[in-house]
Amino acid sequence: MPCPNLQIKKNLIREGRAARLLHPWIFSGAISQAPSGIEPGSVVRVTDAAGEFVGYGHFNPLSSIAVRLLSFDEDKFPDNAFFFEKIRDSIMRRRGFPIRSDARRLIFSESDLLPGLIVDRYASVHVVQTLTAGMDRIKGEICSAIAEIDGAETIIERNDCEIRKLEGLEPRKSVLMGKAPEPEAILIHENNFRFELEPFSGQKTGFYMDQRENRAAVASYVAPGMEMLDCFSFSGGFSVYASGAGAASLTLLDESESSLALARRNLSNNPGSAKTTVFIRANAFKALREFRDSRKSFDMIILDPPKFAPSSSDVEKAYRAYKDINLFALKLLKPGGILATFSCSSGFQRQKFFEVLCAASRDAGRCVSIVSSLTQACDHPIRIGFPESEYLKGFILKALD
Ligand code: SAH
């Protein structure tokens, strides 16, 4: 199919580099010749400096990521049939994954060769995010494909995210297909637990499915009778698992009242061993200090904060924030206690997070060892050659004193 040609400065293909293994982004500074007058979201044909075909991609002259490569085969132009096939492949791949839940991420952007597209399924509700102009343009076709392949009844768009601004897109929240659930909260089943979530008003697309495997991993360290602090608890996922594993006392801490209310419902929907459950609405930075001042201590602490470093330019600020909460959490840990600590910032790399923990352990005067290294769940895969797709880092630390 004829489409505008865009040339990049580097000579890639003649050097024997397989285009499909290249990083799928082309920055505006890497372009030697770009077509003019092309609408954001159009498909372009990319060639290298020697004129060799690299791939087809979505072009957006407004973004510094000018092209996101979609197809690396000259005969496979990204038309509707191409996207249908890629969407089907992504959904089918998941069917072979070890996911014990009726909620899963069906499409994870570049990691599923569909840059800019995220699709989550919560029981009978599908939630879509089109984060690039290219994907936003074909939203209707995407919905039809999901309905046909995965039997979607209700499709909601949660395009109320900041990142769309970089593509010149407005924030949007709407029902694209079917009827919005009434009442809004829907129920999902994850491992042996039941969770309510709010796909229209909740955080992200409603639930942190990327922590599914980590909730189970952390619960395997719970011993009967433990006192746990679930800091940044949101809908209480870690607490529900811990109570199921024998924890005696739970303290959930979040600055959002609606998140605590949701966590309260999730705990009452999953009868567990916890005898005492305390919900604290507070800023974690302040609350951790207050616990220290009142000499409070815990057998297990979860730290699962929001993104402190949305991009690599925030690394220094994020370092200080991660250091602060990890330092105080280590001070609050009982002898032999467990700290499960996470960073979900893609701009903050695993090595940097490890350095934070070294510094926090030194300053807290606590000797700890890593008993487990954690990452995002299997339906949020990390694409080799695309390091930006690794965003969730976690460690389970055990105090040696
Ligand atoms: N652990 C959760 C996900 C946490 S998301 C799960 O497994 O589902 C991060 C949470 O941190 C959000 O609920 C948000 O309301 C809360 N939060 C953000 N900043 C905070 C702060 N400074 N103090 C306390 N809570 C905060």
pTM, rounded to two decimals:
0.96
Q: What is the distance between the alpha carbons of residues 57 and 45, in angstroms, rounded to a whole number? A: 7
What pLDDT was estimated at residue 201?
86
- CA of 305 from ligand 1 middle (Å) equals 5
Supply the mean pLDDT for the chain: 96
Residues 202 and 272: beta-carbon distance below 8 Å:
no
Quickly state the pLDDT bin for 18 (edges 50, 70, 90): confident
pLDDT in tens, 41-63: 999 999 999 999 999 999 999 99
DSSP symbols for 103-129: EEEEEEGGGGT-TTEEEEEETTEEEEE
- CA of 257 from ligand 1 middle (Å) equals 11
Overall residue count recorded for the chain in this entry = 401
Q: Scan for tokens 């991420």, then name that residue.
A: 105
Q: Which atom of ligand 1 is nearest to the CA of 235?
A: 8
Q: CB-hemisphere CA count at 13 Å for 127?
A: 26
| Greatest Cα-to-Cα distance within the chain, rounded to the nearest angstrom | 70
Please check the confidence at residue 183 and state whether its pLDDT lies above 90: no
- CA of 256 from ligand 1 middle (Å) equals 8
Structure-derived torsion over alpha carbons of residues 320, 375, 310, 190, reported in degrees to the nearest 10: -120
- The stretch 367-371 carries a mean pLDDT of 98
- Of 197, 215, 233, 301, the residue with max ligand 1 atoms within 8 A of its CB, to mutate for a pocket test, comes to 233
375 three-state secondary structure: strand
Q: Is 256 in the pocket of ligand 1 (CB under 6 A)?
A: yes
- Of 234, 239, 280, 392, the residue with max ligand 1 atoms within 8 A of its CB, to mutate for a pocket test, comes to 234
In sequence order, the β-bridge partners of residue 218 are none
- CA of 380 from ligand 1 middle (Å) equals 20
DSSP symbols for 20-74: GGS-SEEEGGGEEE--SSPPTTEEEEEE-TT--EEEEEEE-TTSSEEEEEEE--T
| Ordered structural domains, the chain, with CATH | 5-71 (2.30.130.10), 80-177 (3.30.750.80), 208-399 (3.40.50.150)
Amino acid letter at 96? G
- CA of 187 from ligand 1 middle (Å) equals 21
What pLDDT was estimated at residue 2?
72
Quickly state the pLDDT bin for 309 (edges 50, 70, 90): confident
Q: Is 304 in the pocket of ligand 1 (CB under 6 A)?
A: yes
| Of 256, 264, 268, 165, nearest in space to 202 by CA | 256
- Of 122, 190, 196, 232, the residue with max ligand 1 atoms within 8 A of its CB, to mutate for a pocket test, comes to 232
Report which secondary-structure segment, H or E, holds 302: strand 298-303
Show which residues are catalytic: 344
Name the residue at shortest CA distance from atom 22 of ligand 1. 283
Please check the confidence at residue 118 and state whether its pLDDT lies above 90: yes
Name the residue at shortest CA distance from atom 12 of ligand 1. 234
Please check the confidence at residue 195 and state whether its pLDDT lies above 80: yes
Please check the confidence at residue 345 and state whether its pLDDT lies above 70: yes
Please check the confidence at residue 342 and state whether its pLDDT lies above 90: yes
What pLDDT was estimated at residue 336?
98
Q: Which atom of ligand 1 is nearest to the CA of 238?
A: 7
Amino acid letter at 210? D
What pLDDT was estimated at residue 1?
60
